[in-house]
Amino acid sequence: MTDRLGPLPPDQLTLAQRDAAQAIIDGPRGALYGPFVPLLRSPELMQCAQQLGEYLRYRSAIGTRLSELAILVTARAWDQQVEWAIHAPIAQRCGIEGEVIAAIAQRRRPQHMLVDEELVYDFCIELHRDKRVSDAIWADAIAQFGEKGVVDLMGINGYYTLLAMVMNGAQTAVPADAPARLPE
């Protein structure tokens, strides 16, 4: 599979592209990688996306551990290898058990999740699979996370779906040294 929108040579970047790239490099990500490589073709979209992603990934109302779990469910829903390669190790460092990560990779419901992880998993699965969330899961999520948390959870699913669509469409290459890969 050919990377359709791979890295651009630095000397060929427009001023807007250089500024957008530098904003990502100077932010918490520290480098231009993954979805931001193809998104660099549209620097304004990239800047808007990275600002949204910075909030959802680093400061969402549900916290990093649960955000990373939602990202993994989204990556699996979209068969997104780059997202998975980046976030599976982060999820484990944030406290998501390896057996939970492995089950998601294999499209199985994980057996041993914490109560809040079960809720996030079920919410995300329903949202991706059914394109809506059942009343029962919605009520449990509101009770657990509040309205702000539920809105942030939906935002995480939507944002990482956007990135998955960009990378799937662009056929963004998975780094050769990626520690985690989804089974085909």
Residue-wise pLDDT for 123-170, tens only, equals 999 999 999 999 999 999 999 999 999 999 999 999 999 999 999 999
Mean pLDDT of 171-182: 88
180 has a pLDDT exceeding 90: no
DSSP 136-151: HHHHHHHHHHHHHHHH
How many other C-beta atoms are found inside a 10 Å radius of the C-beta of residue 106? Answer: 11
Which amino acid belongs to residue 65? R
Asked whether the beta carbons of 152 and 52 are under 8 A apart, the reply is no
**Average predicted confidence (pLDDT) for the chain:** 96
pLDDT of residue 144: 98
pLDDT of residue 1: 73
| Domain positions in the chain | 62-158
Distant-in-sequence, close-in-space partners of 90: CB < 8 Å, separation ≥ 6: 68
Token pair recorded at residue 7: 């890295």
Mean pLDDT of 1-5: 90
Mean pLDDT of 56-70: 97
Match 């009520």 to its residue by tokens. 139
Asked whether the beta carbons of 35 and 163 are under 8 A apart, the reply is yes
pLDDT tens track for 74-114 = 999 999 999 999 999 999 999 999 999 999 999 999 999 99
pTM of the predicted structure, to 2 decimals: 0.95
pLDDT of residue 64: 97
Asked whether the beta carbons of 76 and 184 are under 8 A apart, the reply is no
User: Minimal CA–CA distance to 87: which of 5, 165, 164?
Assistant: 164
